[in-house]
Amino acid sequence: MADTATRTILRTRGSRATASASAARRSGPRHPLVATAMVLPLAALLTVVFGGWDAVVTQASSVGVMLGR
């Protein structure tokens, strides 16, 4: 039979190290305004670079309809 206890211990220790590194960050969902503030600069840059204002408006309205707003 394979020795799985050692691998389990190593996996557990590895996940704790990863969890402690990310523990400084707040977990959970972001506030919608924070998410919007993060996305808008990139969306504006892509709109200017690719000239896709109509596509952005269409997608935004589609998402708004899907969310029921």
Q: How many whole angstroms separate alpha carbon 44 and alpha carbon 52?
A: 10
**CB 56 within 8 Å of CB 47:** yes
pLDDT digits (tens, 9 = 90+) for 15-44: 555 555 555 566 778 788 998 899 999 888
Domain hosting residue 51, numbered range: 4-67
Residue type, 68: G
Q: How many whole angstroms separate alpha carbon 59 and alpha carbon 39?
A: 14
Question: Which residues have CB under 8 Å from 30's CB, separation 6+?
Answer: 38
Q: Number of structural domains, the chain?
A: 1
Provide the whole-model pTM.
0.34
